[in-house]
Amino acid sequence: ASFTLLCFRSPLVTPLIFGLLLQAPFTHPSTITQPNFVLLLADDLGIGDVGCYGNDTIRTPNIDGLAKEGVKLTQHIAAAPLCTPSRAAFLTGRYPLRSGMDAINDYRVIFWNAGSGGLPPNETTFAKILQHQGYSTGLIGKWHQGVNCESRNDHCHHPLKHGFDYFYGMPFTLISDCQPTEAPEMDRAFRRKLWLSTQMIGLITLTAVLGRLTGLISVHWRTLTCLAGFSLLFFISWFSSYGFVRYWNCIMMRNHGITEQPMVTDRTTSLILRESISFIERNKHKPFLLFLSFLHSHTPLLTTEKFLGRSRHGLYGDNVEEMDWMVGQVLDAIDKEGLRETTLVYFASDHGGWLERQEGERQLGGWNGIYKGGKAMGGWEGGIRVPGIVRWPGVLPAGTVIDEPTSLMDIYPTVVNLAGGEVPQDRVVDGRDLLPLLRGAAAHSEHEFLFHYCGVHLHAVRWHQKDSGAVWKAHYMTPIFSPPGAGACYDRGFCQCFGEGVALHEPPLLFELSQDPSEAKPLSADTEPFFDAVIRKIGRAVEEHRRTLTPVPQQLSVSNVVWKPWLQPCCGTFPFCWCDKEGDN
């Protein structure tokens, strides 16, 4: 019967087979055992800063080229709107609060190299799994997941403890304090309060001494000595950390050793690029994972003279264009070594652009296109919707655009499965394998719901209603912009996650993102007939999601983020920490 059916349909089958033969061949992933992975993650880059996502004032030909040769994701979502939690989620495939890497307070990122918080040793990164699969694994650039736990050299949070064979870069993050010519950035408002308190205590002490000398105040010298001692101790207690931020946080490491303390920013870009290309060249004969975690485009926007003044978007644009050039250099190295067809390249940003980052008239933060909000805002699209591009010639169809909800956490199972590893079964993994969607074998993302946190506070939830194509998003809290209507929290520099800095919504604000991606027109029961049903559906999903959460130690608690001198990485004998081994070489 099957033979008869085949013969009967042969007039239809023949042209079909002929048409398929004319199509460009796509290699099935199983025929390429253990592809290489080059994961490129920008820092603070807005989705509106890239040409293929609509920017026409910043030139990004190499990133745009990746999109033309691969797959562009238009609804690619970060699991958090700030560096530390977003990167923890990226590395583990899990919402950051599952590992204790999201904040219960206003300290929402790792603040010091000498803090004791960081990515817990019991978390399994994709690098650790690939390491067990025989991959050479390297991290070049930014880490920002902690260093030590109990002693200066235990390196419990270090990249080498989390599956990377090789590390070169910053264990912390780039900040303006690293550039001697820039105004301090780290904890700026708190530092002002400390200075003011020091001056007030000093003034009180000086007044008391003068009063005693002139006989206007009757006070014992012992009391004055204690007051002066307290003034000095108070000053030392905070200036020993905040007065030397450049030495404590702005360091470069190679594996466990410090190469620059403080870092020499003029050569950082060239060294990171050199290390990235060298890693590819050293490992070209075996499968490798290179995670190039850019310091671009975080302030202070380190940009070499070659790129200064080239863009039409000021220093920020110059910095993005330099990063694009670096992407091109890495891609050239892949081509030079004949690895183009066997290497999956991924490009994304850790979260949205920083709208509030300004110095006078200069805008030093990114642009998030049509999307509301930005960095530090856990619910609004501008803080979490980021560029997402995947290229794998011969396997992924070139020039494809996918408008399905995807997450940075999806890279975890995608990379692990392609490398022949197994996703851990002893914990909840929130990422989903992207390959069927990227290859066109699946029409829809596996994500039905995505939960958008600001710290440990659930700000919004996205529901992808696959049968209708609708993407509903309910906001339970939103930041209060300052000044009102400004679109960001310019008065504070960052938007808050809880307390007086947020507005609670009952019922939640509801948007349909496929019709209103800018989240400009909230729906109501009067304007949307399915309003109540959608809110109930999302509410049930939140309850189910919360049942999967278990208590874990809070890595970003105050006790974990404060500076601890006994944990300070030091090139020398503490507190005399200084070296320049790159310069010596």
How many Cβ atoms are within 10 Å of 566's Cβ, its own excluded?
Answer: 11
* Angstrom distances, CA of residue 149 to CA of 90, 155, 180, 258: 22, 7, 29, 18
* Total number of residues shown for the chain: 585
- CB count, 10 Å around CB of 65? 18
Q: Are 95 and 543 in contact (CB under 8 A)?
A: no
Q: CB neighbours of 368 closer than 8 A, spacing ≥ 6?
A: 46, 47, 48, 352, 353, 355, 374, 381, 382, 383, 385
Determine whether 149 is an active site residue.
Answer: no
Task: Say which of 83, 489, 577, 579 is annotated catalytic.
Answer: 83
Question: Tens of pLDDT along the chain (585 residues)?
Answer: 333 333 333 343 444 343 433 444 455 554 567 999 999 999 999 999 999 999 999 999 999 999 999 999 999 999 999 999 999 999 999 999 999 999 999 899 999 999 999 999 999 999 999 999 999 999 999 999 999 999 999 999 999 999 999 999 999 999 999 998 888 888 888 888 999 999 999 998 888 888 888 888 888 888 889 988 999 999 999 999 999 999 999 999 999 999 999 999 999 999 999 999 999 999 999 999 999 999 999 999 999 999 999 999 999 999 999 999 999 999 999 999 999 999 999 999 999 999 999 888 889 999 999 999 999 999 999 999 999 999 999 999 999 999 999 999 999 999 999 999 999 999 999 999 999 999 999 999 999 999 999 999 999 999 999 889 999 999 999 999 999 999 999 998 999 999 999 999 999 999 999 999 999 999 999 999 999 999 999 999 999 999 999 999 999 999 999 999 999 999 999 999 999 999 877
CB 166, CB 137: distance < 8 Å: yes
Q: Are residues 44 and 73 in the same domain?
A: yes
Token pair belonging to 90 = 């990226």
Q: Are 257 and 585 in contact (CB under 8 A)?
A: no
281 CB burial (10 A radius; 0-12, 13-18, 19+): exposed
**74 three-state secondary structure:** strand
* Separation of first and last alpha carbons in the chain: 77
Q: Domain of residue 213: give its range.
A: 188-242
Q: Do 281 and 262 fall within a single domain?
A: yes
Q: How far apart are CA 351 and CA 371, in angstroms?
A: 13
Same domain? For 344 and 207 the reply is no
Return the bridge partners of 289, or none: 37, 137
Residues 372 and 260 placed together within one structural domain of the fold:
yes
Short-list 343, 439, 436, 342, CA closest to 398: 439
Q: What is the pTM for the complete model shown?
A: 0.92
Instruction: Name residue, tokens 């700026």.
Output: 188
Cα–Cα distance, 139 to 338 (Å, whole number): 22
In the prediction, which pLDDT does 29 show? 55
482 located within any domain = no
**Same domain, residue pair 104 and 201:** no
**Torsion of Cα atoms, 211 then 213 then 214 then 218, to 10°:** 60
Kindly report the CATH number assigned to the domain that includes residue 346.
Answer: 3.40.720.10
What is the rounded distance in angstroms from the CA atom of residue 311 to the CA atom of residue 126?
36
Is 472 part of any domain?
A: no
160 with 231, same domain: the answer is no
Phi and psi of 349, rounded to 5°? -120, 155
- pLDDT of 26: 52
| Pair (138, 221) in one structural domain | no
The pLDDT value recorded for residue 504 is 98
Q: In which region does residue 189 sit, left (phi positive, over 0), alpha (psi from -120 to 50) or beta (all else)? A: alpha
CB contact at 8 A, 37 and 368: no
Does a structural domain hold residue 7?
Answer: no
Q: Do 59 and 82 share a domain, yes or no?
A: yes
283 and 255 share one domain? yes
Q: What are the C-alpha distances in Å from 205 to residues 105, 193, 210, 216, 233?
A: 34, 18, 9, 14, 13
Q: Which of 220, 242, 264 is the last residue of a domain?
A: 242
144 a catalytic residue: yes
Residues 267, 271, 275: CA angle, nearest 5 degrees:
180
DSSP, residue by residue, 21-50: HHSPP---GGGS-S-EEEEEEESS--GGGS
Of the candidates 357, 347, 355, the one whose C-alpha atom is nearest the C-alpha of residue 381 is 355
Catalytic residue among 76, 144, 158, 313: 144
Judge if 238 and 259 occupy the same domain.
Answer: no
Nearest to 495 by CA among 457, 449, 523, 450: 457
Specify the pLDDT at position 15: 41
**In DSSP terms, which residues pair with 401 in a beta bridge?**
72
| pLDDT at site 28 | 56
Which helix (H) or strand (E) is 127 found in, with range?
helix 126-132
> Is the same domain home to 193 and 61?
no
Of 242, 270, 288, the residue that ends a domain is 242
Residue 584's pLDDT is what?
77
The answer to whether residues 431 and 323 belong to one domain is yes
How many domains are there within the chain? 2
